[in-house]
Amino acid sequence: AQSVAQPEDQVNVAEGNPLTVKCTYSVSGNPYLFWYVQYPNRGLQFLLKYITGDNLVKGSYGFEAEFNKSQTSFHLKKPSALVSDSALYFCAVRESSSASKIIFGSGTRLSIRP
């Protein structure tokens, strides 16, 4: 069965420093991977996805994610964090039995201190 794991419940970073939010996955077949963000009191927003091709995927708000097949990871990164990046981040993977369904990780709360 497909699954994703976000090993950190919380990540704390100083503004201006690079940030990484970790995600590992387990799938049968080719992975289709996603990152979503949830700002306070708002619904989830799509950030980026990996389907195929370049291992470095660029998304919204300056975020990027690196797909690593050998380590089965899809970590979210940003070179310079902003206080406004503070939010809850979810990694997700497509369910192989249904192209429309995706499975979400438990979420990582990112806190950027000024």
Partner 1 sequence: DVKVTQSSRYLVKRTGEKVFLECVQDMDHENMFWYRQDPGLGLRLIYFSYDVKMKEKGDIPEGYSVSREKKERFSLILESASTNQTSMYLCASSKGQLAYEQYFGPGTRLTVT
Based on the shown chain and the rule CB under 8 A, indicate whether residue 1 belongs to the binding site for partner 1: no
3-state DSSP assignment of residue 32 = coil
> Measured on CA atoms in the order 110, 38, 92, 103, is the torsion positive or negative?
positive
Q: Minimum CB separation from partner 1 for residue 36, in Å?
A: 8
**Nearest distance in Å: CB 100, partner 1:** 5
Q: What residue has token string 């000024």?
A: 114
Closest distance to partner 1 from the beta carbon of 82 (Å): 22
Q: Which stretch binds partner 1 (CB under 8 A): 10-18, 19-27, 68-76, 99-107?
A: 99-107
Residue type at 111 in one-letter notation: S
Piece of the chain touching partner 1 by CB under 8 A; list 19-27, 65-73, 77-85, 92-100: 92-100
Do residues 114 and 15 touch, judged by C-beta distance below 8 A? yes
Rounded CA separation 52/18 (Å): 25
Residue reference for tokens 């919204």: 60
Length of the chain: 114
From the CB of 50, what's the least distance to partner 1, in Å?
10
Residues engaged in binding partner 1 (CB under 8 A): 9, 32, 34, 36, 42-46, 49, 51, 90, 94, 98-107
